[in-house]
Amino acid sequence: MILGIVLGYLAISLAVGWRAGKGSSASSDGFVAGDRTLGTFVMYFITGATIFSAFAFLGQPAAVYTKGASAFALLGYGCLGFVPFYWLGPRAARVGRAYGYVTQGEMVAGRFQSPALAIVMALVAIVAFVPYLALQMQGAGIVLEAITDGDIGPNVGAALVYGVVLLYVWRSGVLGVGWTNALQGILMMVLAWILGLTVPELMHGGVDEMFDGLVQRDPKMLVPPGYTGTAEPGVVAPWTWSQYSSRLVVMMIGFSFWPHLFMKAFTARNGDVLRRTVVLYPTFLLFLVPIFLLGFAAIGMENPPASADGILPHLILNLDLSPVLVGLFCAGALAASMSSGDSILHAAASILVRDGGVRGLRLDLSPERERGAIRALLVVVALVSYLFAVGAFGEFHIVSLLVFAYGPVGQLAPVVIATLCWRRATRHGLLAGLAVGSATIVVCEVMNVELPVHTGLLALGLNAITLVLVSMCTGQREPARHERFIDTANQPTST
C-alpha cells in the first residue's frame, strides 16, 4: 500500500505538470518565463517549495538529530534571505520586460554587453546547480529505498523519481514547475504538521515530555550554536559562534541570488506579485517547526539508522503508524525533493542555452531551436547530476552538499546588486570580482583550508571589494546605455 501511494503521487505530479504547459507560447519566453503571467498563488509556492527541498524534509531532521540547535540557522536565513528580492525582484522584472531577459546572467550580460560575463555566470550557476540537484536525487533515492526495505535501491529510486520530473519539465517548462510546486508545497505543509505532532506523542508522550527528556539527556543540543557532528548526536565539539554565524550570513546572502529562484522575477505578472510574495514568504517556513520536532524526537532512539541522512524515513517506518500515513509521508518527502529538483533542472538547461549559448557564444537560434536545445540539455544536466548523486564523483552528505552549493551562489550577489543599482559598475569590475571570489572558494576547498569563518564569506568580501575597486579604475562603454538600463529598473511602477 505504501508503495502504491507513492506511485500514485508520482502519477498525479506527472499529470499536473504535463497539463500545465497547455496554452503557453512556443517561444523561449513561454518555456522559460511562462509568458510572464504567474500570479501570487503560484509564485508563493514556486518560490517556497523551490528552496525548501530534500534538505528541509530529510537533511534538516538529520541536522537536528546530530547537531541540535545548529539547525535553527535555517529559520534565520529563510526569514531574512528573501528580503532583498522585495526591491531587486521588481527591478529585474521591469528590465526583463523592457529588454526580453528571462535569466539572471542574461540580464547582467545584457547591460554590460559582455559575452564573457554570460559564460562566467553560467559556469558559476552550473557549479552550484549540479550538487544541489544531486542532493534532491539523493533524497528521493533514500525515501524509496526505505519504504521498499531495500528492494528498490537508492540509485534506482532516484532514477525513477527524476524520470518523472524530467518528463513534465521537458513538456511544460516553468509552468510545469509552478503548478507541480503548488501541489507539492501543500502536501509538504500538511504532512509535516501531522507527523510533527504525531511522532513526539507516540515516542515521548508529547512535545513537552520530549523536550524535558532531552534537557536531562543532553541540554547542549537545545542551546545555539549547537554541535558540528555529522554522525552521532553530541559526540564532537560545539560550533563556535563565528562558524555558525558566518555560515548563516553566507546562506542568507546567497538565498535571493540562486539563479533558479531569481529567474522567477521574470515570470511574474507584475512587481506587486513579487512584493506580495516576499511579504508572505516567511509563512512558508512554519512547516519547518514540525520538521525540527521530528529531528529532536529521534535523538536517543534505539536502533538508529546507519546514516543520519536516513533518520526520518527510518523513524517513520519503525513506528506503529497507519500505512496510509506512512505512504503520504513518503509522498511528502518526494514532493520536497521534486519541488526543488524540477526548478533547478529547468533553470540549469535554460541558463546553458540563454546565457552560455545565445549571449555567451552568440548563437543565432530561432525560438523553436532554442526551446529544443533547452529540452536536450535537460537530459544532459539530469544525467550528470544523477552520476554525482550515485557517488561517481565521491560520497557526500545531504547537508554538506547544500552548504557547499551556497558558496558559489553567494558570489553572484555583488554582481546582481551592482547591475541593478550601481550606475558606475563596469564589466571589468564584475568579472574581476567573480574571478577573485570563485578562486578563493576553489583554493580553500582544494587545499582544505580551515578558517574560523565560512569560506564563502571570505570570498564574498573579496569579490565585493574587487568589484568596486576595479569598476572605479575602469571606464564604461556607451555610458548612455547604462543610464537607460538603470532608469528602466528605477521606474516607480507596479510592472
pLDDT tens-digit map of 166-198: 999 999 999 999 999 999 889 888 888 998 999
Q: Which three cell numbers stand for residue 483?
A: 543610464
CA 416 to chain CA mean position, Å: 18
Which residue type is seen at 423?
Answer: R
Read off the C-alpha cell for 308.
543520519
pLDDT at 239: 66
d(CA 457, CA 301): 36
Given a contact cutoff of 8 angstroms between Cβ atoms, the answer to whether 399 and 307 are in contact is no
- What average pLDDT does the segment 426-430 reach? 95
C-alpha cell at 113: 554587453
CB atoms inside a 10 Å sphere around CB 276: 17
351-354 contact pairs (CB < 8 A, 24+): 351/103, 351/104, 351/105, 351/121, 351/122, 351/125, 351/126, 351/259, 352/122, 352/126, 352/377, 352/381, 353/28, 353/377, 354/28, 354/32, 354/102, 354/103, 354/105, 354/106
pLDDT band of 230, cuts 50, 70, 90: very low
Mean pLDDT of the chain: 86
pLDDT one-digit tens code per residue, 146-157: 778 788 888 999
pLDDT of residue 305: 77
Residue with the bigger pLDDT between 27 and 389: it is 389
Cell 508572505 belongs to residue: 280
Residue 472 banded pLDDT, cuts 50, 70, 90 = very high
| 446: CB partners within 8 A, 6+ apart | none
The residue among 93 and 320 whose pLDDT is bigger is 93
83-110 average pLDDT score: 94
Rounded-to-integer distance, Cα 36 and Cα 395, Å: 40
Question: What is the arithmetic mean of pLDDT over 392-398?
Answer: 57
> In the prediction, which pLDDT does 407 show?
63
Most confident of the ranges 44-53, 99-108, 387-396: 99-108
Whether CATH 1.20.1730.10 fits 2-398: yes
The region of weakest confidence among 63-72, 315-324, 393-402 is: 393-402
Mean pLDDT computed over 43-63: 80
Residue 234 pLDDT level (bands cut at 50, 70, 90): very low
User: What pLDDT, on the 0 to 100 scale, is given for residue 161?
Assistant: 94
3-class secondary structure for 146-211? HHCCCCCCHHHHHHHHHHHHHHHHHHHCHHHHHHHHHHHHHHHHHHHHHHHHHHHHHHHCCHHHHH
Which triple of cell numbers denotes residue 105?
Answer: 546572467
pLDDT at residue 159 in the model: 94
Q: Is the peptide bond before 225 cis (omega within 30 degrees of 0)?
A: yes
Question: Could you tell me which residues come within 8 angstroms of residue 182 by beta carbon, excluding any fewer than 6 positions away?
Answer: 41, 42, 45, 46, 49
Nearest of 187, 164, 189, 191 to residue 177 by alpha carbon: 164
Who wins on pLDDT, 456 or 31?
Answer: 31
pLDDT at 310 over 80: no
Write the pLDDT tens digit of every residue in 399-422: 555 556 666 677 889 999 999 999
Residues β-bridged to residue 238: 227
The answer to whether residue 236 scores a pLDDT higher than 60 is no
pLDDT value, residue 235: 47
Least confident of 194-198, 321-325, 490-494: 490-494
